[in-house]
Structure 1
């Protein structure tokens, strides 16, 4: 029965990744790219580079092909923090998005489904929101600029959300420079806004959870969680109310999608561990050492 449940979940995740990747490629190739809208991220940067290659070298390179050159190194940056299953899902996701992007671009010859740039930004942003939600539901990622933001956040001790906004804004401004059209940033920021609102509507919960772990093997858990998932946490000193025994409690803040991998690691090392989770606000997130 356990094997059946696992296989069933794997099929569901595979379907979400497949359709999510197709929708993501559709949003870029049929709405955003033809209208010269670069809403940040790897594909926004790929759109800018493709236009530069056209202008300077008169080369026609697929959007997905260019994006792969960025996704691969970004995946390698994030690989140490992913489990084996999540790593495979991520690889499959960004390869599928690249493949679908180039195929759709070839089939439609780079022509948008609608001519109005504002409609392209609305439809493109909405499709991106739905597709990214599906991919996240499958516990996968696109190895995008959020990966780079996470790496930089550890170096500069800055919020990941702030760095993502900063990186995406740079990409948007690069689009303004390359396309020489002041409407490009406006349409791009409209697409980003719609995209974020769709994700928020589909997944209203806070993306982070606080986790308290009570175990007699806290040091082993610490080594495993840092080494295999790259998470940070804090040891809290507690005392049992009945036995009054002294013990350490591991407190961690982690993304919701990583809860199940974390529980699996903990229970593998200590099947008797007590784990409790709760929603947490990013604005009140403490610094974890």
Structure 2
């Protein structure tokens, strides 16, 4: 239950950040930063329909097509994220009358891209997505056999061309810059969420350290018997992977148990298995 609450809380925060970037940075400045949200801005300019309403209709159509054409194995979290974003956008437009935080196009592009990237990364980190062009990309992938990344690039490029036609070259190019900024920053943010510490501990008091890792840190570990190359002393080599908060806790405890312990620490970008992201997830 706690894990379910945490996942949905992070998805909700990600939805809110993405909505803020769209309604207070991109939309008021006519910056179409790719995706269905960019297409919604173009259609809003042409037909005067609320972008939030366009997103709701677009997601209904896209999910229906996905279920018909590719089976639609997206899960409840992706449905929640995609329609949740559409609903939040519609509510902001209806009740808050959003205006641009800045009309400086460079600042709006950079700030909007950073906020949007963080929001999208939070959603992606919970094995969810906001739908939109990712669904179109999967359909193209199935029938044209192109890589997903190339399919996403194709859909975003088409939307950018529409934005250039609708808003002019300058605004269209800012939208293209934002597409590339978001694409690169999302990966960096996701890496930041997933970074853990890979720890090797060599100590003569290994049993006490292992007990602390298992009972207090609540992580697993692997223990190997070792012999010092110079001292010939028998030691235990303990291998474990912990998150950053747990590592701080573990480091201070090791100092208390065995000040002479030898520790090596490495950052790891992704951990799969029990206690972390399961392989089948």
Q: CA deviation at 1:104?
A: 2.3
Offset from partner CA, 1:218-246 (integer Å, 9 cap, x none) = xxxxxxxxxxxxxxxxxxxxxxxxxxxxx
Query: Is 1:15 equivalent to 2:32 in the alignment?
Result: no
* CA distance in structure 2 between the aligned counterparts of 1:263 and 1:98, rounded to whole angstroms: 29
Query: Is 1:114 equivalent to 2:98 in the alignment?
Result: no
Query: Is 1:126 equivalent to 2:114 in the alignment?
Result: yes
* CA distance in structure 2 between the aligned counterparts of 1:173 and 1:127, rounded to whole angstroms: 24
SS at structure 1 position matched to 2:157 = helix
Tell which deviates more after alignment, 144-153 or 27-36. Answer: 144-153
In structure 2, the residue matched to 1:47 is: 41
Q: CA deviation at 1:110?
A: 4.0
5+ residue gaps, structure 1, are: 1-6, 55-60, 206-255, 265-289
SS at structure 1 position matched to 2:280 = helix
* CA distance in structure 1 between the aligned counterparts of 2:191 and 2:4, rounded to whole angstroms: 24
Work out whether residues 153 and 160 of structure 1, in 8 Å CA contact, stay in contact via their aligned partners in 2. Answer: yes
Taking a change above 3 Å as real, the CA distance of residues 188 and 28 of structure 1, as seen in their structure-2 partners, is same
* CA distance in structure 1 between the aligned counterparts of 2:66 and 2:130, rounded to whole angstroms: 11
In structure 1, the residue matched to 2:185 is: 198
Work out whether residues 74 and 144 of structure 1, in 8 Å CA contact, stay in contact via their aligned partners in 2. Answer: yes
Q: CA deviation at 1:13?
A: 0.7
SS at structure 1 position matched to 2:29 = coil
In structure 1, the residue matched to 2:23 is: 29
Taking a change above 3 Å as real, the CA distance of residues 13 and 70 of structure 1, as seen in their structure-2 partners, is same
Q: CA deviation at 1:88?
A: 1.8
Work out whether residues 24 and 128 of structure 1, in 8 Å CA contact, stay in contact via their aligned partners in 2. Answer: yes
In structure 2, the residue matched to 1:263 is: 280
Q: CA deviation at 1:262?
A: 6.8
Taking a change above 3 Å as real, the CA distance of residues 120 and 108 of structure 1, as seen in their structure-2 partners, is farther
Using the size of structure 1 for normalisation, the TM-score is 0.63
* CA distance in structure 1 between the aligned counterparts of 2:171 and 2:103, rounded to whole angstroms: 15
Q: How many residues align?
A: 198
2:148 to 137, 141, 160: 160
Q: CA deviation at 1:103?
A: 2.4
Cα RMSD (Å): 2.5
SS at structure 2 position matched to 1:112 = coil
Taking a change above 3 Å as real, the CA distance of residues 190 and 108 of structure 1, as seen in their structure-2 partners, is farther
SS at structure 2 position matched to 1:52 = helix
5+ residue gaps, structure 2, are: 193-270
Work out whether residues 164 and 173 of structure 2, in 8 Å CA contact, stay in contact via their aligned partners in 1. Answer: no
In structure 1, the residue matched to 2:131 is: 143
Work out whether residues 121 and 187 of structure 2, in 8 Å CA contact, stay in contact via their aligned partners in 1. Answer: no
Q: Which has the larger radius of gyration?
A: 2
Using the size of structure 2 for normalisation, the TM-score is 0.65
Q: CA deviation at 1:87?
A: 2.3
1:187 to 174, 193, 198: 174
